Amino acid sequence: MSRSAVWHPFTQHALEPPMARIASTDGAYLIDEDGNRILDVISSWWVITHGHRHPTIMEAIRAATDAYDQIIFAEFTHEPAETLAAGLIEIAPAGLSHVFYSDSGSTSVEVAIKMALGYFHNRGEARDRIVVMEGSYHGDTIGTMSVGERGVFNAAYEPLLFGVDRLPFPEAGCEQRMLEMFEDFCRASRVAALIIEPLVLGAGGMKIYGAEVLVGLKEIAERYGCLFIADEVMTGWGRTGTMFACEQAKITPDILCTSKGLTGGALPLAATLCTGDIFDAHLSTDRRKTFFHSSSYTANPIACAAAVANLEIWRNKPVLKRVKNLEALQRKNLGRFRGDERFANIRQAGTIAALDLIVPSGGYLADVGPRMRRLFRERGLLIRPLGNVLYLMPPYCVTADELGRAYDAIDEVASIVLASAG
């Protein structure tokens, strides 16, 4: 086989074997060119919600290609984008009233940051600081790296990143300290916005905190006129047990970012929702107050049609019931490891389950991560540990037997890895 010219994401090609070629997908499975069925227990990086190639979404995509390809969105609109925007406002926390489309989770956050800074700039207010939470991840573009955790991932790009104010993660018992620090930032500096992943830090290690923290942060933000940005790219679309994680705190962010499950995972699309005040700050006869952001593929009609079909599934099928069933299955399976000395910090938020393998050297770059990943693949499972952090975030179509097989593999692989380490 000739060497591939493809450069894969988050891949050290000097250490990885040639990539397996996927020939098709089906439900909770990836199927390679040799016919091997690989159970996708991480929803292909958290995007697949209902299962691969859901027929309603696939049919909507096929129908859209009979009428559309890409349409410039700066001078025209189209039915899929209009229908989707109305549908998103209907299901989003009350008070969000405008939708700006982009292409990915990273770009939806870039849009949110620019909206927040543009809001204050157009109002003539000198606010330019962004507050973030330690350990967070918001994407790999320059702005999103700036508001995410600093480390090996972005060390080479440090000269390009702007400064932010950082809050400690609200560990159990330390929530009030974090809230007080946020209030200190708001009181002493020119804070424009707080951006957080609500309830769960994803790539930062599946770290989970309570809804009461969101309530406290929102109260402080409102007190000081600071905008509250909820990055629901990963946490949205049922992952934490509700459509959006913010619902569990009964709050409405000023700006909400969504992607991944927006199309059920079928096509790349993102949306940034905002309040009327933010839109109105950019509404002016002065063209200098225009919101200057776009991409060539903004509001691609075929991707929007897929997202409209996704909304139809949520409206017409018992998706939240499936979410609750999966949540219960995760809880039951996690129970086998409570008290197991091999693991620490066993945790769950909705359909997301995680636990830490106790090893001498942890962290994202821990050697145990790639080794466990290979062992899972040998067992027909797609599980990508975050270093020593094991997590499962399967599509909602996964069965009890399939999920049980994944937990059996975690049990077995943990023993293999720890035996060799000892």
Domains assigned to the chain = 57-316 (3.40.640.10), 318-421 (3.90.1150.10)
Task: Tally the C-alpha atoms within 13 A of residue 287's C-alpha that lie toward its C-beta.
Answer: 0
By C-alpha distance, which of 45, 238, 231 is closest to 147?
Answer: 231
Rounded Cα gap, residues 294 and 182, in angstroms: 32
Residues 6+ apart with CB under 8 A from 118: 281, 282, 289, 291
Residue 99 tokens, joined: 């939708």
Residue 343's DSSP bridge partners are 357
> In the predicted model, what is the mean pLDDT of residues 387-399?
97
Categorize the per-residue pLDDT at 181 as very low, low, confident or very high, splitting at 50, 70 and 90. very high
Question: 324, 239 in Cβ contact below 8 A?
Answer: no
Cβ atoms of residues 286 and 237 within 8 Å: no
pLDDT of residue 416: 97
Q: How far is CA 260 from CA 239, 311, 366, in A?
A: 11, 14, 27
Residue 121, pLDDT above cutoff 90: yes
pLDDT band of residue 422 (cuts 50, 70, 90) is low
Q: What is the mean pLDDT of the chain?
A: 96
Pick from 93, 98, 115, 248: nearest CA to 193: 115
Q: What percent of the chain has pLDDT over 70?
A: 100
Residue-wise pLDDT for 354-388, tens only, equals: 999 999 887 788 889 999 999 999 999 999 999 99
First-to-last CA distance in the chain?
A: 38
Q: Can you give the pLDDT at residue 1?
A: 56
Distance in angstroms (rounded) separating the CA atoms of residues 300 and 269: 8
The model's pLDDT over 296-347, given as tens digits with 9 standing for 90+, comes to: 999 999 999 999 999 999 999 999 999 999 999 999 999 999 999 999 999 9
* Parallel/antiparallel/unpaired status of strands 270-275 and 255-258: antiparallel
* Rounded percentage of the chain residues whose pLDDT exceeds 90: 95
Q: Is the pLDDT of residue 251 over 70?
A: yes
With 0.85 as the threshold, say if the pTM is over it. Answer: yes
